[in-house]
């Protein structure tokens, strides 16, 4: 028997997850020069993962990555098996039986928790839920957000916090021509939020925003961005950090914050207020959250390693709405080792390893489920290419027999009553969504329920 990757024994790989890292892995495999078949398995009927359900609707340029993925989906020997959940419709063991290799590119689907009292009071939400809701993710279709409070807070100073902040700060007129879900637009039209507090546990020099995203918050047409000039008095270690050449993003961020501090409020109807060196320690309220207790922090440690330490002083912030935006975490799948602390599948050079550090043959990971929730969309390309390189290097050691992939999996799933979504099916859904958006002047109106997507195909 020839080794996998030859005409008589094509390399069969299942890529789990149809987001950026999944598509980049598929592309690397299909362009590797090996004889290869890639089946991309996706839990939802719609592909594109975080680009479709995570990227903010008012950032359409970032969504153009989808154009590249659509081309990859059309490459010979690529198949989509959408509406198929690994762990529910098919097991990891079954995938291992029908494929030479499985690459998990399933991202980081849940949120990290603050672990403080009151975190689950009504009115306190994760950014993950809100982002998925306004982007029309079917899992979050039935959520509702009470936007009747005038004061909202966001914990965390990364780009997800910036996205949530803009969606709360913008008027409906600024959002209505985007692909934001209609249910979210309707709710935002009724929003009474006027003041958004964006809370960082460290200082202005440690905020995780990228420059473009921070600058944008200072340039919103109907919202001021406010920084207390006192917060721009940095400690010696932070000043030293800004002298490190590779720390140019923070240097520019501090410049932007300084400009905002100098400008002050300009009388716009809404206000973003940046807080630094504060950590939520308690959320209080009776029927719903009413108040956030914030510990004041100081920074400790050497430049670029400074951590927040509580000083013992606290402040109170009255607010009726809170979004915790402190990073995502992966979700375990039965049959795959999971690092609970980091929220990732543990890997060595993209190969999944067990608790003892031994490689689990045939299992790989790419993207956020491999390295954690960091970097921009493009970061995943190099990451996926590296994982595919490891898989190709393993070819002599992978199971030598031929594998049938989707040829066996397709009928198996059909027998289990799963309506598998192919690329052609998806294109029909895609066309219907674009048509639904047209009368509203939107690039698309997403179907926000799985049943609607299946109905659009004449399936049930
Ligand atoms: P992030 O950039 O890692 O930011 C997380 C924020 O939460 C940080 O300010 C962090 O502070 C804070 N935090 C963490 N644990 C905390 C705790 N226990 N208490 C208080 N604060 C805490 O994560 P993200 O915003 O979720 O973004 C994930 C990735 O997606 C990033 O790489 C981001 O750039 C990317 N992204 C990009 C775009 C875009 O390009 N437009 C949009 C969205 C997301 P510390 O620094 O002190 O840990």
Closest residue to atom 40 of ligand 1, CA basis: 376
Average of pLDDT values for 330-351?
A: 96
Closest residue to atom 23 of ligand 1, CA basis: 327
pLDDT tens sequence across 252-264: 999 999 999 999 9
What is the reported pLDDT for 417?
A: 96
pLDDT tens sequence across 390-411: 999 999 988 889 999 999 999 9
Judge whether residue 1 has pLDDT over 90. Answer: no
What is the reported pLDDT for 341?
A: 93
Judge whether residue 121 has pLDDT over 60. Answer: yes
Q: How confident is the model at residue 177 (pLDDT cuts 50, 70, 90)?
A: very high
Distance spanning both ends of the chain, measured CA to CA:
43
Q: How far is the CA of 158 from the centre of ligand 1 (A)?
A: 4
DSSP assignment string, 334-400: TTS--BTTTTB--EETTEEE-TTS-EEEEEEE-THHHH-S-S-TTHHHHHHHHHHHHHHHTGGGS--
Judge whether residue 460 has pLDDT over 60. Answer: no
Please answer whether residues 404 and 98 qualify as being in contact, where contact means their C-beta atoms are separated by less than 8 angstroms: yes
List 272's β-bridge partners, or say none. Answer: 196, 225
Judge whether residue 293 has pLDDT over 80. Answer: yes
pLDDT tens sequence across 235-292: 999 999 999 999 999 999 999 999 999 999 999 999 999 999 999 999 999 999 999 9
Average of pLDDT values for 314-334?
A: 96
Q: How confident is the model at residue 459 (pLDDT cuts 50, 70, 90)?
A: low
% of the chain at pLDDT higher than 90: 96
pLDDT tens sequence across 94-104: 999 999 999 99
Mutate to test the pocket of ligand 1, among 19, 124, 127, 158 (most ligand atoms within 8 A of CB): 158
Q: How far is the CA of 412 from the centre of ligand 1 (A)?
A: 41
How far from the centroid of its chain's Cα atoms is residue 33's Cα?
Answer: 31
Q: How far is the CA of 147 from the centre of ligand 1 (A)?
A: 23
Other Cβ atoms closer than 10 A to 253: 24
What is the reported pLDDT for 307?
A: 98
Minimum-distance ligand 1 atom for the alpha carbon of 328: 26
What is the reported pLDDT for 398?
A: 86
In whole angstroms, what is the distance from residue 350 CA to residue 388 CA? 8
In whole angstroms, what is the distance from residue 282 CA to residue 445 CA? 39
Q: How far is the CA of 403 from the centre of ligand 1 (A)?
A: 41
Residues with CB under 6 A from ligand 1: 59, 114, 155-161, 163, 200-202, 206, 208, 210, 213, 279, 325-328, 373-376
| Exposure letters 307-322 (e unless 16+ CB within 10 A, then b) | ebeeeeeeeebebbbb
Say which residue the tokens 């529910």 belong to: 88
CATH numbers and ranges of domains, the chain: 11-109+330-421 (3.40.50.720), 112-327 (3.50.50.60)
Closest residue to atom 9 of ligand 1, CA basis: 157
Mean pLDDT of the chain: 96
């Amino acid at each position: 028997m020839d080794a996998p990757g030859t005409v008589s024994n094509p390399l069969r790989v299942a890529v789990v997850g149809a987001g950026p890292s999944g598509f980049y892995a598929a592309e690397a495999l299909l362009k590797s020069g090996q004889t290869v078949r890639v089946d991309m398995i996706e839990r939802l009927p719609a592909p594109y993962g975080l680009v479709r359900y995570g990227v903010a609707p008012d950032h359409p340029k970032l969504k153009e990555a989808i154009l590249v993925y659509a081309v990859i989906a059309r490459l010979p020997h690529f198949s989509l098996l959408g509406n198929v959940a690994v762990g529910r419709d098919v097991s990891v063991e079954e995938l291992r039986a029908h494929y030479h290799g499985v690459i998990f590119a399933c991202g980081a689907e849940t949120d990290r928790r603050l672990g403080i009292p009151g975190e689950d009071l009504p009115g306190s939400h994760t950014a993950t839920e809100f982002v998925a809701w306004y982007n029309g993710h079917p899992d979050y279709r039935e959520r509702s957000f009470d936007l009747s409070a005038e004061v909202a807070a966001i914990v965390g100073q990364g780009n997800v916090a910036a996205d949530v902040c803009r969606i709360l700060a913008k008027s409906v007129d600024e959002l209505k021509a985007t692909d934001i879900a209609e249910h979210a637009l309707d709710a935002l039209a009724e929003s009474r939020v006027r003041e958004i507090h964006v809370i960082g546990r460290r200082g202005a020099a440690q905020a995780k925003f990228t420059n473009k995203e921070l600058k944008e918050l200072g340039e919103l047409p109907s919202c001021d961005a406010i920084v207390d000039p006192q917060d721009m008095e940095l400690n010696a270690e932070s000043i030293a950090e800004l002298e490190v050449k590779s720390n140019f993003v923070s240097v520019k961020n501090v410049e932007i914050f300084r400009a905002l501090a100098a400008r002050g409020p300009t009388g716009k109807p809404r206000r973003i207020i940046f807080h630094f060196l504060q950590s939520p320690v308690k959320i209080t309220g009776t029927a719903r959250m009413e108040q956030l207790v914030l510990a004041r922090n100081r920074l400790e440690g050497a430049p670029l390693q400074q951590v927040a330490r509580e000083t013992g002083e606290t402040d109170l912030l009255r607010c009726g709405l809170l979004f915790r935006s402190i990073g995502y975490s992966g979700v375990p799948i039965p049959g795959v080792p999971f690092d609970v602390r980091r929220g990732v599948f543990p890997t060595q050079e993209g190969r999944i390893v067990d608790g003892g550090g031994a490689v689990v043959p045939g299992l790989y990971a790419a993207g956020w489920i491999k390295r954690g929730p960091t970097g921009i969309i493009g970061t995943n390309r190099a990451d996926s290419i590296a994982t595919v390189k490891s898989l190709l290097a393993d070819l002599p050691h992978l199971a030598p027999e031929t594998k049938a992939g989707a040829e066996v999996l397709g009928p198996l799933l059909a027998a289990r009553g799963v309506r598998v979504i192919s690329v052609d099916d998806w294109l029909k859904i895609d066309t219907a969504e674009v048509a639904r958006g047209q009368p509203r002047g939107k690039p698309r109106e997403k179907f926000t329920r799985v049943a609607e997507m299946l109905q659009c195909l004449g399936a049930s």
